[in-house]
Amino acid sequence: VGDVLKRMPETRGRPSEYDRWIQAYGGDDFQAVVKRYKALVETAARRLDLADPLHATLASNFSTALHLEYLFWDQPLNHAVAWPDLRS
């Protein structure tokens, strides 16, 4: 996200309080961590037996994480205020 924001011309006039956040998430160190983490997740996924009940749990958790990420970014656009109750 930070890497994309650094390249977007419409963010050049943004408030300066976002600069540190954008630099952190767009910086080389963060990008390197993301690449290492992605490789770990992909390796683990290839080793996972699809019949293992853990697969369904991981898939559900991943889906929930994606949904929450969507809500986070959608909230300012659509003025959403309600978050799902994830207590189980």
pLDDT-derived band at 88 (thresholds 50, 70, 90) equals low
Q: Let me know if 6 is exposed, middle or buried by CB neighbors in 10 A (0-12, 13-18, 19+).
A: middle
Q: What is the DSSP letter of 83?
A: -
Q: What is the mean pLDDT of residues 58-75?
A: 87
pLDDT at position 13? 64
pLDDT at position 39? 95
Q: Please compute Rg for the chain using Cα positions.
A: 17
Q: Which helix (H) or strand (E) holds 6?
A: helix 2-7
User: What φ, ψ does residue 62 adopt, rounded to 5°?
Assistant: -65, -45
Q: Please count the residues of the chain.
A: 88
For residue range 4-59, what is the model confidence (pLDDT) as tens digits? 666 666 656 666 777 777 778 878 898 899 999 999 989 988 888 888 888 889 88
